[in-house]
Amino acid sequence: MATMRDRTPQDIRSDIEREREQLVRAVANLRTDLHQAANVKPLLRKAAIGVAAFTVAVVALKIARRRFSR
């Protein structure tokens, strides 16, 4: 690795460009991760299905109790 005094302006430009590209990739990855974390639709859909199944089960139990308790 060259020392600071041995670096040419072109070396510095190349380093800055490489770092800029790394930053662009990091920001893109962060946006993707944030989008995935903020996407709650699948979770809400699963929760709604679970609540519906639970409600159906409770109603079915109540109906069964009425029919068999007579």
Is 62 strand, coil or helix?
A: helix
pLDDT computed for residue 1 by the predictor = 55
Do 44 and 69 lie in one domain? The reply is yes
Domain count, the chain: 2
pLDDT of 2 > 60? The answer is no
Do 16 and 30 lie in one domain? The reply is yes
Tell me which amino acid residue 36 is: Q
What does the DSSP assignment read for the chain? ---GGG--HHHHHHHHHHHHHHHHHHHHHHHHHHHHHH--HHHHHHHHHHHHHHHHHHHHHHHHHHHHH-
Do 46 and 32 lie in one domain? The reply is no
pLDDT computed for residue 3 by the predictor = 65
pLDDT tens readout for residues 18-62:
999 999 999 999 999 999 889 899 889 999 999 999 999 999 999
Question: In 1-70, where do the E strands start and end?
Answer: none
Its domain, for residue 19, covers 8-39
Do 46 and 65 lie in one domain? The reply is yes
Do 13 and 33 lie in one domain? The reply is yes
